[in-house]
Amino acid sequence: MSKRSGTVQDLAGMRDQVYEDPRPAAQFERFHERARTREPDWVYGVVRVLTTLYGAIAFRARAVRPDRIPATGPVILAPNHFSFMDHFFVGMFTWRQVRFMAKSQLFRRPMQFVYTHGGVFPVRRGHKDEEAFITARTILGQGGCIVMYCEGGRSRTGMLASRAKPGIG
Residue 161: the pLDDT is 65
- Please give the pLDDT value at position 158: 64
Give the pLDDT mean for 131-146.
97
Q: Please choose, from the candidates 126, 105, 82, 128, the residue with its C-alpha nearest in 3D space to the C-alpha of residue 28.
A: 105
pLDDT band at 169 (very low <50, low <70, confident <90, very high): low
Alpha-carbon distance of 161 to 90, in angstroms, equals 19
pLDDT: is 82 or 165 the higher one?
82
pLDDT of residue 16: 66
What distance lies between CA 96 and its chain's CA centroid?
Answer: 15
Per residue in 16-74, pLDDT (tens digit) is 666 788 999 999 999 999 999 999 999 999 999 999 999 889 988 888 899 999 999 99
Q: What's the pLDDT at 114?
A: 92
Query: Which residues is 103 bridged to in the sheet?
Result: 123
Burial 70-93 (b: 16+ CB within 10 A, else e): eeeeebbbeeebbbeebbbbbbbb
| pLDDT on residue 154 | 59
User: For 85, which DSSP code?
Assistant: T
